[in-house]
């Protein structure tokens, strides 16, 4: 038998699943219906983390003190998604930003929107690390991450 190239079968696997939110994530998302973004504070290191967590990832202490943070903050980094792939939350192009909300000590990922266009030359001028952004809430909220349409620049 002579060596030959490996044969490859191509196919698609879909994986429907359900994810039990648990009490901490359930409350976190339910508060969105009242336009409240909640974090939890660690009694040991004092950090407020958003989304709310049941324990501190640094100290491994329970985090059961709930704290409301602002729905505005500072953009820490961002990325433009301008190509389609499986499982995207919306049609590209769109921007995902890492936002440090006022009152929180970590980054919260969400869309950056309300921009005139998504041309990279425009975005390089308009979207910058350190700029202030504020949540744009949907009129009808259902307790999901999409209750916030996006964060818009306020400067």
Q: What gap in Å lies between CA 103 and CA 72, rounded to an integer?
A: 10
CB of 104 to Zn ion, least distance (A): 13
Q: What gap in Å lies between CA 136 and CA 118, rounded to an integer?
A: 18
Q: Which is nearer to Zn ion, 35 or 58 (CB)?
A: 58
CB of 53 to Zn ion, least distance (A): 10
CB of 149 to Zn ion, least distance (A): 32
Q: Among 113, 121, 114, 141, which Cα is nearest to 36's?
A: 141
The contact set with Zn ion (CB under 5 A) reads: 42, 44-45, 56, 58-59
Q: Quick one: tokens of 70?
A: 């602002």
Q: What gap in Å lies between CA 77 and CA 70, rounded to an integer?
A: 18
Q: Which is nearer to Zn ion, 49 or 101 (CB)?
A: 49
Q: What gap in Å lies between CA 39 and CA 70, rounded to an integer?
A: 10
Residue where the block lists tokens 């921009």: 115
Q: Which is nearer to Zn ion, 47 or 110 (CB)?
A: 47
Q: How far is CA 41 from the centre of its chain?
A: 19
Q: Which is nearer to Zn ion, 97 or 107 (CB)?
A: 107
CB of 68 to Zn ion, least distance (A): 19
């Amino acid at each position: 038998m002579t060596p030959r190239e490996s044969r490859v079968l191509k196919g698609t696997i879909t994986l429907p699943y359900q994810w039990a939110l648990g009490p901490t994530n359930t409350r976190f998302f339910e508060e969105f219906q009242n336009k409240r973004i909640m974090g939890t504070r660690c009694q040991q290191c004092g950090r407020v983390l958003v989304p709310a967590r049941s324990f501190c990832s640094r100290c491994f202490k329970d985090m059961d003190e709930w704290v409301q943070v602002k729905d505005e903050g500072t953009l820490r980094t961002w990325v433009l998604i301008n190509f389609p792939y499986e499982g995207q939350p919306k049609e590209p192009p769109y921007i995902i930003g890492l936002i440090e909300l006022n009152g929180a000590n970590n980054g919260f990922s969400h869309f950056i929107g309300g921009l005139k266009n998504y041309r990279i030359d425009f975005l390089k001028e308009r979207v910058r690390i350190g700029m202030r952004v504020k949540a744009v809430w949907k009129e009808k909220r259902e307790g999901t991450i999409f209750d916030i349409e996006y964060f818009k620049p306020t400067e």
